[in-house]
Amino acid sequence: DAKTTQPPSMDCAEGRAANLPCNHSTISGNEYVYWYRQIHSQGPQYIIHGLKNNETNEMASLIITEDRKSSTLILPHATLRDTAVYYCIVRGPYNQGGKLIFGQGTELSVKP
């Protein structure tokens, strides 16, 4: 499985967009980029995933560079409840499922 690199921590002002970067320079052509978050000690929560096109859902947007070596998770209007550890994970083809390999993630602090 490809490895990812994320900054250990970031701050964001409440109401502003939070942009969380992730590097995955060794990603293979059929591997997807997934984002999960973990609020305090709760179970990780799925946010979004993508292959090569930009994706958007009710929680966030995912921007993947054209060479697929990096991506950015965007929370458009961060709230205090978005304070969490965000994990960027590279994983095999979507329909094959498989284990998730978590790195250290980025600890996002949303401040009033």
* Interface ranges with other proteins (CB under 8 A): 34, 38, 41-46, 49, 87, 94-104
Q: Give me the least distance between CB of 8 and other proteins, in Å please.
A: 12
Q: Which is nearer to other proteins, 34 or 60 (CB)?
A: 34
Residue 14 or 94: the one with the smaller Cβ distance to other proteins is: 94
Structure tokens, 62: 């995912």
Alpha-carbon distances, residue 24 vs 8, 20, 39, 112 (angstroms): 15, 13, 23, 32
Q: Residue for token digits 């967009």?
A: 17
* Of residues 7 and 103, the one with the C-beta less far from other proteins: 103
Nearest approach in angstroms of CB 9 to other proteins is: 15
Say if residues 60 and 75 touch (Cβ distance below 8 Å).
Answer: yes
Beta carbons of 45 and 34 less than 8 angstroms apart: no
DSSP 71: E
Least CB distance to other proteins at residue 98 (A): 7
For the bound state, the minimum distance from the C-beta of residue 6 to other proteins, rounded and expressed in Å, comes to 12
